[in-house]
Amino acid sequence: MKLKRFEAKIRVDILKFSFKIITLMIIITIITVSFFNYNMRNYRLNNTLDHYSSSLKHVITTNQQELYAVSKDVFIRFLTGESDSRNVFSSFYSFNARQQMKSDLLVFDEALALVLHTNPIFETDYALFHFLSIVIDNEAPLQETGALRVYQSNQSTYLLYVLPIIDQAIIGYAVSVIDGREFQLLREDTSTNYVIYDQYDNVLSASSTSIVHTTTGKLNLNNDINHKETRPFSNITITAYVSNQSYAGVFFTSLIVLAILSLFISLQTYIFSKKASTKMGHSLYLLYDQLMQVSKSPSHRISIKTEDEFETLAENINKVLAELQSAHDRNIKLSELNLESERRKLEAQFHPHFLANTLETIRSAIYVDTSLAEELLTRMNDILRYSISEKRVDLPLQDDLVYIENYLIVNQIRYEDFTYKFKIDHDLKNLRVPKLLLLPLIENSLKYGFKFRRDLKMLIAIHRGSHGDIIIRVIDNGGNLSSDQATQLNTMLTTTTKPDQHHGLINTKQRLSLMYEHARFVVKTKCRCTIIEIRMRGGHYV
């Protein structure tokens, strides 16, 4: 059944749409997680590098400034015998107490003989003495700014800062020794691993021994890490790193969570689609059954209570059906009125009295002016042919006015003092109107106007009002209509019962209302003039 297929199609469409949403959500989540991981990893690596780089620069700069300042006075006086070691120890311990990272001090004479130390483990470290000798020989002459080196002993790894003590010439050396383990104190402010090493890959300090060769103590980086590095000094490198496995774990965990969430959403979507399609299908079945009843009985109206859009749709369908029924009824009524109008155009508009007077005028004109009589016959013939023709009963205004004017000319010939005038907006000439719409109104004005005066004047004005309404007025100066009579006429025009008189006005109003549903028809008097006014919205054009 087609309705069943519709229900299945709705369910499939909902599932397809949800699948697209879930796929898009997964893609966005993967991109977001990857982007977040990448930026977070770089942030953590940069944070670690900045922290250790600034700390190392601060330590070296501070030691350099302290040793340089002390060497100008305390070291020179000590090496030249002008003071004992107490001044050196006092100055160093005062400096060391202010530092976060502690260091030791070694003082050598010109021959690299150890003359002062703050830690006895260096007293017999001949490997250190030999290492310093090599450094000084390679750096000869040693600059006043000193030299920075990484030294590995059996016990630990140290950062050495060697500064020459100069009194016109080099008279000794001051060496600041920082244990690499001191750098572990800085780890609490970092979120990644780090390693500090020299240009020969000798590791000074590392947060993990996994990247340090167990035998040589040198750096042993592998491909399982992401790292970034910086060089605060030309021969010292700091590398921050994180394991790829940690981020891979986060990524795969996110994928698993996404998969579980997607399955859950898919299941819920399937349940929802089944309920929604069943509900919509039920509403559609009800609407379908009601429409079948409408097809069998046009007067039937749809009645369903589904509390959804189908109920609203049913109400709108009922409105359309009501409008169609109303239009159908109006068309039937219009057909009936058109038939009646065809009969009345000969009975009421061209009654025997009018024909008798016209024929009398023609007969008299034959003896006076045969050309005038011929013109009257021609115009009367045109009007009669037009009124009984089988063409459309609604024509452009400009076509209809041709025959209206013929009618007025005939009356102007009959009554020499009668005058008329048209005032028509050019853009309304193609307005569609019922055939000879104005003829009953004009005949009414002539019939009652000539009772009171022979110099009757008539104005036919058709224009568009300030609010866009189309206004049609037939005005005469007969002056025979009082305000009370105008009120009675307007009351009569609003009733649905057929009156005993004024059939032309009633017929005109009804014919016009069938074409222009909201047209208003008013009779009024002003300044001793009778005004028949028609107002209608919009307008149909040919």
Q: Are 405 and 368 in contact (CB under 8 A)?
A: no
Q: What is the pLDDT of residue 177?
A: 93
Residues 74-85: tens digit of each pLDDT: 888 888 888 888
Structural domain range at position 191: 13-243
Q: Are residues 182 and 62 in the same domain?
A: yes
Q: Is there a domain that residue 373 lies in? A: yes
pLDDT at 398: 92
The radius of gyration of the chain from alpha carbons, rounded to an integer in Å, stands at: 57
| Same domain assignment for residues 225 and 357 | no
Instruction: Indicate the residue among 214, 243, 272 that finishes a domain.
Output: 243
- Residue 197 has a CB neighbour count (10 Å cut-off) of 25
**pLDDT surpasses 70 at 391:** no
Q: Which of 187, 209, 243 is the last residue of a domain?
A: 243
pLDDT, tens digit, 9 for 90 and up, residues 435-454: 888 888 898 888 888 888 88
In the prediction, which pLDDT does 349 show?
A: 45
Model confidence pLDDT, tens digit, residues 238-292: 998 887 766 666 667 777 887 888 888 878 877 877 777 666 666 667 777 777 7
**521 and 390 belong to one structural domain:** yes
Judgement on whether residues 366 and 481 belong to the same structural domain of the protein: yes
Q: DSSP code of 431?
A: B
Same domain membership, residue 362 and residue 234:
no
**Within a domain: 182:** yes
Q: Cα dihedral sign for 134, 140, 144, 147? A: negative
Question: Is residue 154, in this structure, part of any structural domain at all?
Answer: yes
Q: What are the DSSP calls for 205-246, one per residue?
A: EES-GGGB-TTT-BB---TTEEEEEEEEETTEEEEEEEEHHH
Give residue-wise pLDDT tens across range 108-162: 998 889 999 999 999 888 899 999 998 888 876 667 778 889 998 887 899 999 9
> Does residue 371 share a domain with residue 234?
no
User: Could you give the CA distance from residue 525 to residue 505 in angstroms, rounded to a whole number?
Assistant: 16
Between these two residues, 31 and 408, which has the higher pLDDT value? Answer: 408
Q: Is residue 287 part of a domain?
A: no
Where is the domain boundary, 220, 243, 266? 243
The mean pLDDT of 301-311, rounded to a whole number, is: 72
Q: Within a domain: residue 201?
A: yes
Burial 423-460 (b: 16+ CB within 10 A, else e): ebeeebeebbbbbbbbbbbbbbbbebbbeeeeebbbbb
Q: Is 305 left (phi over 0), alpha (psi -120 to 50) or beta?
A: beta
CATH of the domain at 476: 3.30.565.10
Q: Which of 13-17, 85-89, 307-311 has the lowest mean pLDDT?
A: 307-311
Residue 351 has pLDDT above 60, yes or no: no
Domain identity same for 507 and 369 = yes
Please report the pLDDT score of residue 421 as a whole number: 95
Are 364 and 221 in a shared domain?
A: no
Indicate the number of domains in the chain.
2
412 and 532 co-located in one domain: yes
DSSP secondary structure letters along 133-186: HHHHHHHPSPPTT-EEEEEE-SS-EEEEEEEEEEESEEEEEEEEEEEGGGGGGG
Asked whether residue 297 is assigned to any structural domain, the reply reads no
Residue 250 lies in a domain: no
Model confidence at 223: pLDDT above 50: yes
In a domain, 46, yes or no: yes
DSSP bridge pairs for 426: none
Average pLDDT over residues 205-231: 82
